[in-house]
Structure 1
Amino acid sequence: MRRMPNDALMLAGRVLLGLLFLAGAVQKGLAPAPAADLLIERGLPGALIWPALAFNALGALCLFLGLWTRPMALALAAYCMMTSIFHLIPSDPWQMSIFVKNWAIAGGLLILAAQGPGRFALHR
């Protein structure tokens, strides 16, 4: 069996991670109320949803294109870790699943930050 080159795997990983953040941006844009309610429940302004949307969209774009991959991956990992707090509801298995997934995504982003974007990137 022929092995897929690492650069192609790096590109696939960046795109898959980017799709997650793009979906988050779209979700916040189409239905901002649920995410804004999470913020308000924690005593934060619901309007923070808009900078979060912009950050998700910018993060997705950077991952897709391989622009500023290392710093953006670090920033996105920190974002995942910080926002996991909103899902730390031990009595709700669904929210706990999201909590754990946020940390797993942060782990993938940290690996990306350590390894860089690979050859198929606009900025290496």
Structure 2
Amino acid sequence: MLNPNVVVKNIVNQTNTDAILALIARALLAYIFIVAGWGKLTAYSATASYMESMGVPSAMLPLTILVELGGGLALLLGFQARFAAFGLGIFSLITAFLFHGSAEDGINFMKNFAMAGGLFFLMLHGAGKFSLDHIIEK
């Protein structure tokens, strides 16, 4: 009998396939943080005002940009990816409650939780073969 899980496992467990999928997963996770961090940097005043309106001090904005942009780039490049994934996962959970806790914003709340799940999975399994972490660890 054909077992789809075994078929997928056999495909994914091939070294190059695993490495390529890890790179794609990192890029997909990194994308939202890089874009969001860049957006905050280029619309600094508007973002600071929004943060203040949500009860978050605008003095936190530089740290937020560093976490999003720096963490996103670290994920993309696979540099200290476990640390970056853990930090971004915690960041995603915190921002879910601070900015997306209302009933009207439930989809973004769930999105942040889903991203945190993917990031924690990346933290457990590492960046993969096509990463700076792999090069450094060799």
TM bracket (short chain): 0.7 to 0.9
Q: Distance in 2 between matches of 1:80 and 1:64?
A: 17
Which string of whole-angstrom CA distances, capped at 9 and with x for unpartnered residues, describes residues 47-87 of structure 1? 31221011111111111111111111011100000010111
By relative contact order (CA 8 Å, sep 6+), the higher-ranking structure is 1
Identity %: 30
Point out where structure 2 has 5 or more consecutive residues left out of the alignment.
1-9
* Pair 1:71-2:60 in alignment: no
TM-score, length basis structure 1: 0.87
The number of equivalent residue pairs is: 121
Matched, 1:87 2:100: yes
Structure 1 equivalent of residue 122 of structure 2: 112
Q: How does 1:1-124 map to 2 (within 5 A)?
A: 3=11, 5-85=17-97, 86-90=99-103, 92=104, 95-124=105-134
Give the root-mean-square deviation of aligned CA atoms. 1.9
- CA deviations on 1:68-114 (whole Å, 9 max, x unpaired) are 11111011100000010111111x2xx21111100000000011011
What are structure 1's unaligned runs of at least 5 residues? none
SS of aligned partner of 2:91: helix
- Choose 34-43 or 102-111, whichever is displaced more: 34-43
Give the deviation of 1:46 after TM superposition. 1.4
For residue 7 of structure 2, what is the aligned residue in structure 1? none
- The 2-side partners of 1:40 and 1:66 are apart by 33
* The structure with more helix, counted as a fraction of residues: 2
Which amino acid letter does the alignment assign opposite residue 49 of structure 2? D
- Please give the TM-score of this superposition, normalised by the length of structure 2: 0.79
4+ residue runs over 6 A deviation: none
* Matched letter for residue 100 of structure 2: H
